Structure 1
Amino acid sequence: MAKPTFWAQDVYTCYLCENATQQFCNSCQVNLCETCIKKHRYEFKSLPHDIVSFLDRKIQVVLPQCPEHTGQRCEANCKECNRPVCLKCIVSGPHIGHDIEELIETHGNKIRKIKSDKEELQEKLIPKYQKEEVEIGNKISNAKSKLDDVGNESKKLRKLWHQEVDKIFDKIEFLSQYLTEKNINAVQEYHNKIRDLISEMNTIVKQIEKLFTSKKLSEVNIYKSKLNE
């Protein structure tokens, strides 16, 4: 299925083909050309379609189709089951007596939670871990620098002493390098984890930003916060 695109002169194309858009389905929030209107109705023949001129389109949230009742859109959300339901589901379906709220209200709450998560990630968590990442990087650099200094000094002293003393310094240098590299490797591993965590949080922010522009309630509704992780 072709995705809606637009040309240099802001000419939008049909979501089913590459022809220029003349019509718009308010119910499904998709662009249509004259040729594809019938195909679109047939593709979702169980649902009502409000086809209007593209200039008269209304940008709004798309209510999902009810999986239990053909031709019905979900206008509410079942709090107990955490899923969209239509009026028939509430009155005579499997959600009788359940705690119900308007799907638009659920969507609004989800959007607010998504926005809150995005703000906490960008304003608190990411800066915090970026600062820690820099500090750990500096500690690793200092440790490596000190290790180099110890090695250079050891080489200078080695030349001043006899063979037996030189052997003692060889043992000291080996032990010093072994312990220092062991500590550096441990800190380096934690440093890498911090970097991966920052990358993962930036990926979540990008996914959240996509949800702000999504018109599919089902995508927003299944959003789960990962801040505790």
Structure 2
Amino acid sequence: MDPRFGAQDVLRCDLCKTASVQSRCEVCQIKLCKACVGEHLSDSTQNHRVVSYKAKGSAPNYPECPNHAPNFCELYCEKCDIPVCSTCISSGKHHGHKITDALQNLKVNSETKQLEKNLRELEEKICPQYEEIFSELKCERANIAAHYEKLTSTITAHGEEWLREIETIMKKLKSEIDVMKKKHLTAQTKQEEEIRKKIYEVKKSITELKKILENKDQSLISSYQPRNVEFRRFPPKLNASLPMFSAQPVHKDIVCQQFGSLTELSMETVDHSFVMDTQDAVSSQLFKSPLKVPELIATIDILDKLRSVICLSDEEFWTCGQTKFIKLYNVLDGEKVKSIKTKSEEWPHDIALTKDRDLVYIDSDKCTVNLVKNKEIREVITLQEWKPNNVCSTSSGDILVTMDKAETKQSKIVRYSGYVEVQKIQYDDKGKSLFSSYYLKHICENRNLDICVADHLARTLVVVSDAGKLRFRYTGHPSIASGAFKPYGITTDSQSQILISDCDRSYIHILDKDGLFLHYINNCNLNSPWGLSVDSRDNLFVAELKSSKVKKIKYMKIL
């Protein structure tokens, strides 16, 4: 056996084949002895890099060349954008191309990928979270304004109650004064009449006596009966103790204490937590794109002529239709969980969930908005001249109600905070009505706080800002005939996309937050879709009017 190839033999130079190895060329991937290093470096066709052979273990792990194994791709052709080996270079295929070190290129690629990763994080996570925080601040601003307005109204009402009590006390005291005055003056008048009568009688006696004395008629003098003794008894004098008002001193500190006081304003800053990529990440903070073909995940038979559906969770949803029952179903087994009968036993026109996940429903015939809490139904809003049609809950906890007034052919949206009216949306900047005169107007709030209304009679989607300013209208895709778009149900998802059901054409229109048409959902064997809702994972729930089914559809995918 040749001693050069023995298991215990030292490594030999790849050029002279005899001397032991002290160095290696990282570019050409050959072993070199000390004498052959100079010869190898004399080849000016390559930028050789000779290092100690002991440094091999720290050399980068270059990929093996697919065309010239077992050579390694330690170089990089920038024009072809591929790693190459020394044989690839000598073949002439990359003649005139800029050749750089693969290690340096890998470093640049790594830095580029890191920058791209940083960009994706900024675009897909950090910026959306800032926007969400900003939206929450806008919601909080509206809540703060509403709270202080309510606080002022409460104090005003309390003050008016005090004024009413003071007015009542004043009226009572004045009434007592009038009674005493009348009684006193009556007694005084009676005494005056008695004195006046006595004066008349005394003067009459004086006249009679003078006449007798002038005539000196002895018979008259003898028969006269004097009344002096009687007149000496003067009528009793009326002494009255006049009523007085004992006014109590006004102690401002005591009055303030009895009237009521305000608690101190307490403020603190709380750090926002950044949501990383975990399984518990919120759906809205994940970047999603539409599926090319939406998938039908589940179909649940309800057996009612359905109008509305609202997701209580990812597993349960409420439905209502043209019956007096509102029903809760489980998605997994399609079984009914519970059923609630409306207070009036009329069918509800729409349903929604409050921020606390309590059920709210519209009783249009009774003109009431009703809250279902702890199995009790309470009328929280009662209208007199207006008729409520549809309802939704907002991220701030307010309630938005669409309503109409048939006599005057008017429609409007009213915002209730704590079931107190705080906003009315009815006209645009030119004083024209934003909505058609009557009929259904399903409503929802988008993540950017826009209010989206499916105005069926006008065959238009109307979107206004949270301040009630018109943002845009959508009358259907240009490919469909004018007036063919008939919106019914409406909802929005975590990407601020607006989904509208076109019941007559069995289509679901999907728009972005600015009204740009994105695509349709027109498969999944839809049959007269009406009510819409999405769960936390952006699965769409569709209530079908004619088939009395609820369909769960996956239309988005996470990238």
Same structural fold, with TM-score higher than 0.5 when normalized by the shorter chain: no
More strand by share: 2
* Band of TM-score, shorter chain: 0.3 to 0.5
- Bigger relative contact order, structure 1 or 2 (CA pairs below 8 A, ≥6 apart): 1
TM-score, normalised on structure 2?
Answer: 0.20
